[in-house]
Chain A
Amino acid sequence: MTEDETLDLCGEKCPDTFVYSKIKLEELAYSGGGVLKIIVDYPPAAENIPRSLRTEKIKYEVLEVRPVGDRFELLVRAPAVKE
């Protein structure tokens, strides 16, 4: 699975990691959908982002969460949503 866009959130902590992810995913969803790669270096965010996304109205799909060195990469699919 390859991403359509990447969001580097290294240096950010929760809940900002989620806020930025949510805004970016929403943007993707309203512009036809796609897969976003989110990079975080704050370990709790790797768990918190997927958990928080589950409560969203838009049904995001977390495809993968993988550790890469001291970072985590999350792949999330945003469905296409109409205005």
Chain B
Amino acid sequence: MGLSLNEIKRYSRQLVLPDMGAREQNRLKNAKVAVTGAGGLGCPVSTYLTLAGVGQIDIFDMDKVELSNFNRQFLYTPEDIGRPKVEVAAERLRAVNPEIEVNAIDTVINYDNAFDLLKGYDAVVDGTDNFPVRYAVNDACVVNRIPLFHGAVLMYEGRVTTIIPGETACYRCAFPEPPPAGSVPTCREAGVFGAMTGIVGSIQSLEAIRYLAGLEPSLKNTLLIINADYSIYDRIKLRRREGCSACGETFIPRPVDYSCEVPEG
């Protein structure tokens, strides 16, 4: 069924799972995924997609590696400081799994280009760290009908949801408006534990892998909230919102025009 002996060995520990098999593995192999952000979420997300055998992974980011990344972004080493994150991440991931294609896309994502950049993918996994880009990614995925695996971390809280355009609530259904500028602490003020980005990114990637393999993701219409203070995992039911400017009857472009960083990391 199109898997080499090498691939069967490499993926044997997931192929033995009752829900998985050559068919599911081949679906992963034929999938093309965009990861937006190569930071605290992007590192675990792109790593687990790579390990699982997703055939093409395109990583988008425009940042360079900095020393302050190292409490959570495990794909980089101090020698990489100053280099574009996507370039380093792609190098590392290709070394980990030479069977797949990893592309580094060193670019800004914004409301003007997101709709074109995020075209033709089987899934987008979002690891961006600010509201303008997050809403741009949501709207682009809704318009292009691409499943979106959302994740965010704010201080001690992580959030994850799975968005299937046309079927589930989108990010704008849950959060029609971004918080007022200045109401959310910036990355520097709020801080972030690396382990929390690891948890959230891992759940996002698991959802994406399940979906791409043809299995049912668990977080459709569900916002999973993880609280690191008390280890609370809360599930909030989401519903499609009538008149949603993104996934409602008529799409209305609504760029978020303030710069408010949140600590995805």
Q: Which residues of A contact B (CB under 8 A)?
A: 15-16, 18-20, 22-23, 26-27, 30, 52, 55-57
A-B residue pairs in contact (CB < 8 Å), sample of 18: A15-B16, A16-B9, A19-B12, A19-B15, A19-B16, A22-B16, A22-B21, A23-B15, A23-B21, A23-B22, A26-B1, A26-B22, A26-B23, A27-B1, A27-B22, A30-B1, A52-B16, A57-B19
The interface residues of chain A lying within 8 Å CB-to-CB of B9 are 16
Closest to A27 in B: B1
B10-25 toward A: CB 8 Å interface, digit per residue (1/0)? 0011011011011100
Is the Cβ of B1 less than 8 Å from the Cβ of A23?
Answer: yes
The interface residues of chain A lying within 8 Å CB-to-CB of B12 are 15-16, 19
B51 interface residue (CB < 8 Å to A): no
Closest to A81 in B: B23
B: number of interface residues (CB 8 Å): 13
The interface residues of chain A lying within 8 Å CB-to-CB of B190 are none
The interface residues of chain A lying within 8 Å CB-to-CB of B8 are 19-20, 23
The interface residues of chain B lying within 8 Å CB-to-CB of A18 are 16
Please report the C-alpha to C-alpha distance between residue A52 and residue B17 in the assembled complex, in whole angstroms. 9
Beta-carbon contacts under 8 Å, B10-56 to A: 12-13, 15-16, 18-19, 21-23
Q: Which residues of B contact A (CB under 8 A)?
A: 1, 3, 8-9, 12-13, 15-16, 18-19, 21-23
Is the Cβ of A26 less than 8 Å from the Cβ of B16?
Answer: no
Across the interface, B18 reaches (CB within 8 A) one of A15, A27, A57, namely A57
The interface residues of chain A lying within 8 Å CB-to-CB of B3 are 23
Please report the C-alpha to C-alpha distance between residue A26 and residue B21 in the assembled complex, in whole angstroms. 8
Closest to A16 in B: B12
Q: Which 3 pairs between the two chains have the least Cβ-Cβ distance?
A: A19-B12, A55-B18, A26-B21
Please report the C-alpha to C-alpha distance between residue A56 and residue B22 in the assembled complex, in whole angstroms. 13
Please report the C-alpha to C-alpha distance between residue A57 and residue B15 in the assembled complex, in whole angstroms. 13
Please report the C-alpha to C-alpha distance between residue A28 and residue B204 in the assembled complex, in whole angstroms. 34
The interface residues of chain A lying within 8 Å CB-to-CB of B13 are 15
